[in-house]
Amino acid sequence: MGPVEYCLTGALAMFAGVDRVAFGQFMISRPIVVGPLAGLILGDALVGLEIGMLLELLWLGRLPVGAAIPPDDTQVTLGATVLALHLEQTLTVHGMPLVLLCVLVAIPLGKFGQSFDRLARNVNDRFNTKALTALKKGDVSSMERLHLMGLGSFAFAGLATAALIIFFGFLVLSFVAPFLVDSVRHAGLGLQYSLILVGAASLLGTINVNRAVSLFSAAFTGTLLVMWLK
């Protein structure tokens, strides 16, 4: 992975940040999509897909709609993918244990996304006031420029979030990964199923299903049965 790949990943972070709330909403910002794209740029789309699948379920019921500002699942996915592929080379650790460790470290760092998203919205509120003033004066070019600057706010918020997740994630993982990767490897499928079950529970908690508890209990029992049969 060289400077070109990292620049392309940064461009993806910016575009996905805009796609998430401000423009297009082509669903490129969804973890299941942005993870494989980041992995493809960095040389291993499968790792990005594994991370995207785990995080998609966790955040499927928490969308940035209206005034809601959840943690930035897009940049968490992208950051975890970068961390996993970078640490594969530096620590010579491969496979699902490293993926799970990077996901667990990146998830709490998604709070940075909330802060930057809120900052971008506050900045855009000021742009909106200036745009209304320009519109009253008939200054269409200034209004268009302010509109594009509003898109830029979300783009740079996404880039800043991804950069901080990667930076702090790398600092944490550089110290703890050599000690914890064996524990994560021993946990194996149990940890994977745990993340999936937490995601399923989180999703069921956000939808209006009368038998949500029964469905979750049945899924939990079914998963335990599969683990027992293996």
Q: Is the pLDDT of residue 212 over 60?
A: no
SS3 207: coil
Residue 18 has pLDDT above 60, yes or no: yes
Instruction: With a cut of 90, say whether residue 129 has pLDDT above it.
Output: no
pLDDT at site 50? 85
Q: Taking all residues of the chain, what is their mean pLDDT, rounded to a whole number?
A: 79
Q: How far apart are CA 61 and CA 180, in angstroms?
A: 30
pLDDT at site 162: 93
Once rounded to an integer, what is the mean pLDDT over residues 114-134?
86
Average pLDDT over residues 155-184: 83
The pLDDT tens digits of the residues spanning 24-68 come to 788 888 999 999 999 999 988 988 988 888 888 777 766 666 666
Which positions ≥6 away from 72 have C-beta within 8 Å?
Answer: 17, 20, 110, 112, 113, 114, 116, 117, 158, 161
Provide mean pLDDT across the span 96-109: 83
Average pLDDT over residues 99-121: 87
Q: Does residue 194 surpass a pLDDT of 90?
A: no
Amino acid at 55: L
Q: pLDDT tens digits, residue range 65-94?
A: 666 677 888 999 999 999 989 887 776 666
